[in-house]
Amino acid sequence: MSGNRVLEKLIILDYLLDRSEWGVRELSWETGFSIDKVKSVLKDLSKNYLIELDSSKVIWNPADNPSTLKPWGWRLIHKLVVGSTQEVAKGYGPWSIVVSEYQIMGRGRYGRKWFSSLGGLWFTLSLSLNSSEASLLPIAVPVILTKVLNKQFNVETRIKWPNDIVVKEGKLAGILVEAEAFPDKFIVYVGVGVNVNNEPRLEEAVSLKHLLGGLVPRNKLLATVVGWFSNIRRVLEDRERLVRDYMDSLDTLHRRVVLDTVDGVVEGVVVNVRSDGAIVLETESGEVVYEPSSVYRVRYVEET
């Protein structure tokens, strides 16, 4: 998609963010686009958003516009374009949610680029937790996300170690957990990217739109995830159950994998994942253990 076309979509979407219903002629006057151009851009946007267009007006379904959400106890900031929601979240206090329609510097682990195209759900939650609570988030977040996605959309999601959410090995969602330490607490930034109604740019990725055969209203998904994080301390209290739920959802367990690590390439069978998130691999020379921070990439090996 050309840069100009993306810019045209962003300009139109910017007007719909705070006001979900517009006359087509009004949008033409506001944007400086011809009426035909406005209709053309809106038609393209309707492939990735719940946007209804007739000859004279356009309506963006409020169930798909995060600006309409008012989650109790949270401050929600909905932006059109940002570099990364992780960076924006650092400018707000804990118990904030930053949602963006488009990221130009979205990132995953090790700074890998996360392609945040229009129609996906890209957000960061900031939380204030103690050190023991914060240490469990890397396994708690994927567990929460799989539970929500499985129940809400009836799709069988699994966790690819350490915390990618996959459907039949196609990546549906990614997670990035970062933290800032203070004398009495940690401020944790939980970045989540879910392929909802966007067109994933990577061949190995999937979206809810394609899995379910149609557009999905994003607000219910976002609200449900936020609801879980409103009770995150209760979730983190039962460490044993949390670890058990993580292991039950782990697609990587008992599979042969190749790990690209700080020590080089290692191949073996995953025999365990410890409660601290470290992976235990059975290799030809014995068991080895790797922390998530020391593994750049996980690849499955097809057994013959």
pLDDT digits over 161-170, tens only?
A: 999 999 998 9
Domain C-terminal end among 23, 42, 60:
60
What CATH number has the domain bearing residue 34? 1.10.10.10
pLDDT band at 302 (very low <50, low <70, confident <90, very high): confident
Tens-digit pLDDT profile for residues 248-290? 999 999 999 999 998 899 999 999 998 778 899 999 989 999 9
Q: Are the CB atoms for 186 and 33 separated by under 8 Å?
A: no
The H or E element that residue 295 is part of is: strand 295-300
What CATH number has the domain bearing residue 235? 3.30.930.10
Note whether 29 and 84 are same-domain residues: no
For residues 209 and 151, give the distance between their C-alpha atoms in angstroms, rounded to a whole number.
16
Note whether 208 and 150 are same-domain residues: yes
What CATH number has the domain bearing residue 285? 2.30.30.100
pLDDT band at 214 (very low <50, low <70, confident <90, very high): very high
Position 269 scores a pLDDT of: 95
Q: Range of 50's domain?
A: 3-60
Note whether 29 and 105 are same-domain residues: no
* Selection from 49, 73, 71, 69 nearest residue 61 by Cα: 49
Note whether 265 and 194 are same-domain residues: no
Position 204 scores a pLDDT of: 83
Note whether 148 and 101 are same-domain residues: yes
